[in-house]
Amino acid sequence: MNVYEQAALLIKEANDVAAFTGAGISAESGIPTFRDPGGIWDQFDPEEFGTAQGIMSVMQRRPEVLREFLLNSVDTFQKAKINGAHRALAELEGMKKLFAVITQNIDNLHEDAGNVNVLEVHGNLFRSRCVSCNQRRSLNKDEFLNGARDVLEDRDNFSLQRVIEIMPRCSCGGLTRPDVVMFGEAVQRLEESYDAASRCDLMLVLGTSGAVYPAAALPHQAKQEGARLIEINPSENSYAGITDVYIKEPSGEAMPKVMDSLIKLMAH
């Protein structure tokens, strides 16, 4: 029995599957990781570009650098498309096998693929949050990115006011910001994520280095409550001590093979 068949068998035997996904699954869709060599924090200082205060400071001192950073980000998100791992997780939810995706990613790709119950511990770039009343509202991804591109490509009129205007006003009249967790801010939906990790009898761990806490503790929580673990990661097995099946391959390549094996198993 190969590793894909082993993983498929564990999924077939499970009743409540949860997935825990990290930057690796988004990297396969063309979104650079933050921490890996050559990633975003190799090119930009996280103290400047990872905090609201830092971004304001860069805007005042080096506006062209901020404009380039934001324009590159818009390019990246406009080009990003769901991959085989996203599709497989949506398929598993449709089969009533998977009940939750816990993700550290902010790109909305799980929702784009069709997953409904997505717990985003680091927020979602395509959701606004009011700085006055804290109200959240989903944004139309294409409209938001196209509007941002229009502002950022107008180099002659680039200003802090124009950057602020990229985000829509709240219904209360307040300014909004992207609903993403910046450095020093508390993660989101952590209690729900721990509940999901405690409830599942199988956790799929896809494309995460296991380095960013507190989210990185979730597979340990699942294992502690008796769940089995399947990890898919091309670089290393971050949870080697607790993994039941490890596939050393990109998630977008491995998950379709696991699904093919699962469908064959389910047919017998």
- At which residue do the structure tokens 């997780």 appear? 89
121 half-sphere exposure, CB direction, 13 A CA radius: 24
Q: Are 177 and 89 in contact (CB under 8 A)?
A: no
- Over residues 119-174, the pLDDT tens digits come to 999 999 999 999 999 999 999 999 999 999 999 999 989 888 888 889 999 999 99
Kindly tell me if the per-residue pLDDT of 54 is higher than 90: no
pLDDT at 48: 59
- Over residues 204-224, the pLDDT tens digits come to 999 998 888 889 999 999 999
The region of weakest confidence among 8-12, 99-103, 181-185 is 181-185
Query: Cα separations (Å) of 151 from 64, 68, 166, 170?
Result: 13, 12, 7, 20
Cβ neighbours of 182 (radius 10 Å): 17
3-class secondary-structure state, position 82: coil
134: region left, alpha or beta (phi > 0 left; psi from -120 to 50 alpha)? left
DSSP assignment letter at 157? G
Strand 123-130 with 202-206, pairing = unpaired
Q: Which residues contact 65 (CB under 8 A, 6 or more apart)?
A: 58
What value does the mean pLDDT of the chain take?
A: 91
Average pLDDT over residues 97-124: 97
Kindly tell me if the per-residue pLDDT of 35 is higher than 80: no
Q: Is the peptide bond between 46 and the residue preceding it cis, with omega within 30 degrees of 0?
A: no
Higher pLDDT, 261 or 38: 261
Q: Considering 86, 122, 220, 268, which one is annotated as catalytic?
A: 122
Kindly tell me if the per-residue pLDDT of 116 is higher than 90: yes
Kindly tell me if the per-residue pLDDT of 47 is higher than 60: no
pLDDT at 183: 79
126 CA to centre of own chain: 12
Please tell me the distance from the alpha carbon of residue 43 to that of residue 69, in angstroms, as a whole number: 10
Kindly tell me if the per-residue pLDDT of 228 is higher than 90: yes
Secondary element (H or E) of residue 87: helix 84-94
Q: Is 110 a catalytic residue?
A: no
The strand order across the sheet containing 245-247 reads 118-120, 98-103, 17-21, 202-206, 228-232, 245-247
